[in-house]
Structure 1
Amino acid sequence: MAGFGREQLQLVDVPVPQPGPHEVLVKVAAVSVNFRDHLTVENGMGAALAFPFVPGSDMAGTVAQVGPGVKRVAPGQRVINTFWTNWHDTPLPKSSTQGKAFGGPVLPGVFSQYLVFNEEDLIPAPETLDDSAASTLTCAGLTAWNALISSGHLQAGQRVLIQGSGGVALFAAQIALGHGAQVILTSASADKRARAKALGVQHVIDRTQPDWPDAVLAATGGHGVDHVIELAGGDLTATLSTLATGGRIAIIGVLDGFHLNVPTPLMFARRARIEGIGVGNRKSLRELAQWLDLNNIKPVIEAEYALADLPAALSHQQRGPFGKVVVRMN
């Protein structure tokens, strides 16, 4: 990027970087697109960027070369990257040690054919997933896994409300279903509701109807939901009204803005727990990859683009895909 806006995206030739001590050169095969990338390209998510800048946070590729002292990976091995550079195994890092995220605002991103990573910021790619599917785990898959499993401690038989049908939403649905939960998904699109039903989601609800919270409660037999994957944010009044006593809302998305409206009387009445999810750590990413392999579950990818068509991929992401949008790098 030479500046903000999709019209500022350019393909340029640069020398292939060389790995130093404990560094790994990766030939990137696929990069998945997140709503975060759209915001970064348009306005830096409100932060200043040093141009030229490379966006993107999620890649899958193959180790091309290793520097001195590398022990975690080997040449020829397929890998994916972590989202944070230093959040590896601790449950919840202090802000001073959490590190930086790939693709902005401090670190450049992964829309490059060759990249150098510290070996600590890579894990083996799932054996059962191709490069396109593997590239979707770093942000969307890990966010859903952290919200429901690492932080949420989802139990079989619990009820999960998922707001939307994008990448994080469908990962959450697949993870919840795979752990024996009852899933209720809301969407404004009849087509997406039908496609979610075909994935095995037990209840799909029209988000455009003003009484959609009543439909959620009816789907749970009046119990309410134990977990909410909240992708819109904004006013939480309706979402809180669907919650079971002691239920939990994982705040993930900002589609309705960067500020929440939380009616405290309703929050008190529900004994609600509201938690912001900042993707997740390397340990959780490895657990997700292993779980997908063990259960032979494939992420939902709606479309794939060539690198030269990155502006079109970002437009597709902005429109709201059913699942993930991926860019093939080769």
Structure 2
Amino acid sequence: MTTIFSGYRLGDLTLPNRVVMAPMTRVRAAAGGLATPSMAAYYAQRATAGLIVSEGVQPSLIGQSNPGTPGLHTDEQVTAWRPVTAAVHANGGRIFAQLMHGGRVSHPDTIGVQPIGPSAVPAVGHVFTPAGPQPAPTPRALDTAEVPEHAESYAQAARRAIDAGFDGVELHGANGYLISQFLSSNANLRTDRYGGSVANRIRFAVEAVSATVEAVGAARTGIRLSPGGTFWGVEDTEVAELYAALLAELARLDLAYVHLEATIDEEVLVGLRRAWPGTLIMNPVLPMGPKQTGRDDADHWLELGADLISFGRAFIANPDLVERLRTGLPLAPVDEATYYQGGDAGYLTYPAYQHTA
């Protein structure tokens, strides 16, 4: 019987269990988008996960969404990440870098220029800036000739990620960021080859993934998707058709995995599971929703055909989450006030379970 504690072969990696640490923004990077010793300790504490997917890492300066996030577009950033990946590997873990281009979900105060997007349509809500939350600005719509360089930025960052010691990369195609914006029917109002029809709206995602596969290999490349999700105001029409078409194109590339979020009805998600011939990581509950992923959610999705299960917030407060799940120990609550405040409090201060006599 397959459980979350069963081993799994992912590309060239042997995972000791099927528990994945989901990517979670923690805004603890140093100036210049540099990883820090605290980040090395944070990920190393959680290395018992079958696979860690890092927080979102910007592949270019214009791709940065939030202040305080790390990058993979300079030599200095590569150097800063090496102690992080080394610490995870020293503790027996495996780690992919999530490559996250924010697109329109950014601000000139953060990146120094006007954010870009598929169309001149602002995100819904307030974005984080060095001066605090501000209304999302109207992005500059990319010219057709500019689009390929942003697809290529994922590949360039992927090369740097491997150089920095990561085992692979996950393209962030979810949650209203750049790839998701191109997939969207209301953020993408283009009339060129990147907009309009389903075939055109999936083109940017396919080009970004294809470039990354060419750069670092299919076994080191995954993508995260949020079908039907409405983060930052994106909307998708023809959700089942759109994502089935995207998965059909990605299937030709033999990726390491697709990582789906539970952002639409289970029936649609099960259909996408059937349409995807490769490894599926399932995030069983809505990210940032009212419920955290638990053992029952994991077991349910393994029965529905998922191969690996990602846990987000539970990993923040429980660095020993795998052991707690294995032995039925209670999960520590997370302090939401420390998600993004910086510093080690609420970052390195959650202990492993303390047994008492």
Common topology (TM > 0.5): no
Hey, which of these two has a bigger chunk of strand by percent?
1
Q: Give me the TM-score of the superposition, normalised by structure 2.
A: 0.29
Q: Which structure carries more relative contact order (alpha carbon 8 Å, separation 6+)? A: 1
TM-score where L is the length of structure 1: 0.30
